[in-house]
C-alpha cells in the first residue's frame, strides 16, 4: 500500500507519541502487549490528545484483561493473527468513512463516547462457520448454545409474537432451522448491540421499547424486500438494518444520559423535533451516529447506508429499491402508528419509481400489524 498510504512503523508507544507530536496521523494501529507502555495506555493517550485519529488495536486471546482497559479508547479490535487483507480493508473503510461529509463532526462526538460496542465474537464465529461448505445447522446451533445469556435472549425474541411461529422454539438449532441462519445471525448482532448500551444511567430512556420498535421495523422491512425483490441477500440486509436503524439513539443515550433523556422528554416522540434537537446538542443526529458506528464494524454498505439515511433517504445516490427504501418505509409506517410523525418521503419514492406502491405497502402494513396484535392477545 505504500503508493497510497504514508506509513510509519515504530517500536514502542513512546516512539509513537513522539512521532505524533510532529506529524498529522489519521490512523493508529497498536499491539496490546508492548515493552514500556501497553496498547491500552497508548490509545488512551492518543484519544486524549488526538481525538480525531482513528484507533485500531490488534489483540490476541491472552489480552482479554488489557482489552477491557481500552474500551472507549479504541474504535475497532482486530484479532491476531490478522490477515493483511482484513487489515487493509479495515483501514480503507475507516478512511472512507472519515471523508464522509459530516464525519469530522461525528468523530468529535464519537471520541467523547466511552462505550463503542465491538463486533460480538459469536457473530464472527458464525460468519466463519458459514464459510465452511460443509456446515450443518446443528454446528451453528452449538456455537450459539455456548453463550447462555445470548441463547436466552434470542429464544425470547424468536418466541415473541413478531415472528408468528406456531410452536415454541426451545433451542438455538431449532431457531436456526425455523428462521434461517441469516436471521439468527442478525438477531445476535442486534441483541449484542443493544445490551452493550444497557446501563442504569439510561433510566428514563426505554431500551426495551426501542428494541421492540426496531424488531418491528426489521420484520416489516424484510417482508417488503421479499415482496419486491425476492433477493435473499437484500432481505437479510433490510432485516439487520431495520434492527439497528436506531442504534445511534442507544449510543447517545448511553454516553450522554442526562442530555439525551432531556432531549427525548422534550420532544415527546416527535421525530422531526428529536432530529433537530439532536443536531443542536451534538451537531449530528442518531442516524449519523448509528451509520458511522456500524460502518466501523464493516457491515455491508447497503446496511450502513440504510441506517445512516433512514430519515433522509433522498440523500442516497441510489435510484432503485434498496434496503434503505425498505427501512425508511417500515420505520415511517411504524412510527405513524404511534404518533403523527414521521411521514414517508414521497419525493424520494417518486425518484426511485416506487411512489405508486405506497398504497399497497400501507395496506400490507395494516394487515401485518393487525395480525401481530391478534397473536399477542
Find the part of the chain contacting Fe ion (CB under 5 A) among 9-17, 32-40, 100-108, 323-331: 323-331
Distances 168 to 96, 146, 174, 239, 358 between C-alpha atoms, Å: 45, 20, 10, 22, 34
In the complex with Fe ion, the residue whose CB is nearer, 196 or 246, is 246
Find the part of the chain contacting Fe ion (CB under 5 A) among 42-50, 57-65, 146-154, 246-254: 246-254
In the complex with Fe ion, the residue whose CB is nearer, 316 or 331, is 331
Three-state DSSP state, 114: coil
In the complex with Fe ion, the residue whose CB is nearer, 55 or 328, is 328
**Is residue 285 part of the contact set for Fe ion (CB under 5 A)?**
no
**Is residue 331 part of the contact set for Fe ion (CB under 5 A)?**
yes
CB of 214 to Fe ion, least distance (A): 7
CB of 333 to Fe ion, least distance (A): 11
User: Which grid coordinates are listed for 268?
Assistant: 415527546
In the complex with Fe ion, the residue whose CB is nearer, 46 or 221, is 221
Q: State the Cα–Cα distance between residues 99 and 37, nearest whole angstrom.
A: 31
User: Which grid coordinates are listed for 79?
Assistant: 484479532
Q: State the Cα–Cα distance between residues 52 and 46, nearest whole angstrom.
A: 9
How crowded is residue 39: how many other Cβ atoms within 10 Å of its Cβ?
Answer: 26
CB of 19 to Fe ion, least distance (A): 41
**Is residue 151 part of the contact set for Fe ion (CB under 5 A)?**
no
Q: What is the DSSP string of 83-95?
A: -HHHHHHHHHHHH
CB of 342 to Fe ion, least distance (A): 8
CB of 106 to Fe ion, least distance (A): 16
CB 219 within 8 A of CB 250: no
What are φ and ψ of residue 317, in 5° steps?
A: -85, -5
Find the part of the chain contacting Fe ion (CB under 5 A) among 27-35, 93-101, 152-160, 327-335: 327-335
Q: For the chain, where are the E strands, in sequence order?
A: 27-31, 54-59, 76-79
Residue with cell 509513537: 16
CB of 337 to Fe ion, least distance (A): 12
Nearest to 151 by CA among 116, 176, 132: 176
Find the part of the chain contacting Fe ion (CB under 5 A) among 16-24, 229-237, 259-267, 329-337: 329-337
CB of 331 to Fe ion, least distance (A): 4
- Greatest CA separation for the chain: 65
In the complex with Fe ion, the residue whose CB is nearer, 77 or 260, is 260
Find the part of the chain contacting Fe ion (CB under 5 A) among 54-62, 179-187, 191-199, 243-251: 243-251
CB 239 within 8 A of CB 179: no
CB 348 within 8 A of CB 365: no
Q: Is 269 left (phi over 0), alpha (psi -120 to 50) or beta?
A: left
CB 54 within 8 A of CB 24: no
Among 147, 182, 236, 246, binds Fe ion (CB under 5 A): 246
In the complex with Fe ion, the residue whose CB is nearer, 153 or 331, is 331
Number of residues that bind Fe ion (CB under 5 A): 2
In the complex with Fe ion, the residue whose CB is nearer, 42 or 106, is 106
CB of 181 to Fe ion, least distance (A): 26
Binding positions for Fe ion, rule: CB under 5 A:
246, 331
Amino acid at each position: 500500500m505504500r503508493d497510497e498510504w504514508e506509513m510509519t512503523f515504530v517500536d514502542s508507544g513512546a516512539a509513537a507519541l513522539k512521532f505524533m507530536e510532529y506529524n498529522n496521523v489519521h490512523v493508529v494501529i497498536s499491539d496490546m502487549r508492548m515493552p514500556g507502555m501497553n496498547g491500552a495506555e497508548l490509545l488512551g493517550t492518543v484519544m486524549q490528545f488526538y481525538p480525531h485519529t482513528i484507533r485500531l488495536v490488534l489483540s490476541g486471546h491472552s489480552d482479554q484483561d488489557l482489552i477491557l482497559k481500552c474500551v472507549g479508547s479504541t474504535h475497532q479490535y482486530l484479532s491476531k493473527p490478522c490477515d493483511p487483507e482484513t487489515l487493509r480493508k479495515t483501514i480503507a473503510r475507516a478512511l472512507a468513512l472519515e471523508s464522509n461529509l459530516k464525519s469530522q463532526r461525528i468523530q468529535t462526538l464519537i471520541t467523547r463516547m466511552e462505550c463503542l460496542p465491538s463486533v460480538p465474537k459469536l457473530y464472527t464465529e458464525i460468519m466463519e462457520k458459514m464459510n465452511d461448505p460443509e456446515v450443518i445447522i446443528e454446528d451453528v446451533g452449538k456455537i450459539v448454545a455456548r453463550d447462555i445469556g445470548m441463547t436466552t435472549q434470542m429464544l425470547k425474541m424468536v418466541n415473541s409474537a413478531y415472528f408468528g411461529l406456531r410452536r415454541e422454539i426451545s433451542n438455538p438449532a431449532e431457531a436456526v432451522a425455523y428462521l434461517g441462519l441469516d436471521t439468527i445471525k442478525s438477531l445476535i448482532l442486534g441483541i449484542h448491540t443493544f445490551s452493550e448500551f444497557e446501563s442504569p444511567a439510561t433510566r428514563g430512556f426505554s431500551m426495551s421499547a426501542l428494541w421492540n420498535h426496531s424488531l418491528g421495523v426489521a420484520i416489516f422491512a424484510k417482508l417488503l424486500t421479499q415482496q419486491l425483490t425476492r433477493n435473499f441477500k437484500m432481505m437479510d440486509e433490510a432485516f439487520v438494518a431495520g434492527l439497528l436503524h436506531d442504534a445511534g439513539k442507544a449510543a447517545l443515550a448511553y454516553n450522554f444520559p442526562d442530555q439525551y433523556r432531556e432531549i427525548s422528554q422534550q420532544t415527546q416522540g416527535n421525530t422531526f423535533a428529536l432530529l433537530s434537537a439532536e443536531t443542536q446538542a451534538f451537531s449530528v443526529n442518531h442516524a449519523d451516529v448509528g451509520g458511522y458506528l456500524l460502518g466501523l464494524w464493516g457491515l455491508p454498505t447497503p446496511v450502513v447506508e440504510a441506517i445512516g439515511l433512514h430519515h433522509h433517504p433522498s440523500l442516497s445516490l441510489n435510484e432503485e429499491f434498496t434496503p434503505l427504501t425498505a427501512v425508511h418505509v417500515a420505520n415511517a409506517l411504524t412510527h405513524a402508528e404511534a404518533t403523527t410523525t414521521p411521514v414517508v418521503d414521497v419525493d424520494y419514492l417518486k425518484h426511485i419509481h416506487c411512489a405508486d406502491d405506497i398504497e399497497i405497502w400501507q395496506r400490507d402494513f395494516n394487515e401485518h400489524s393487525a395480525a401481530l396484535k391478534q397473536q399477542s392477545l
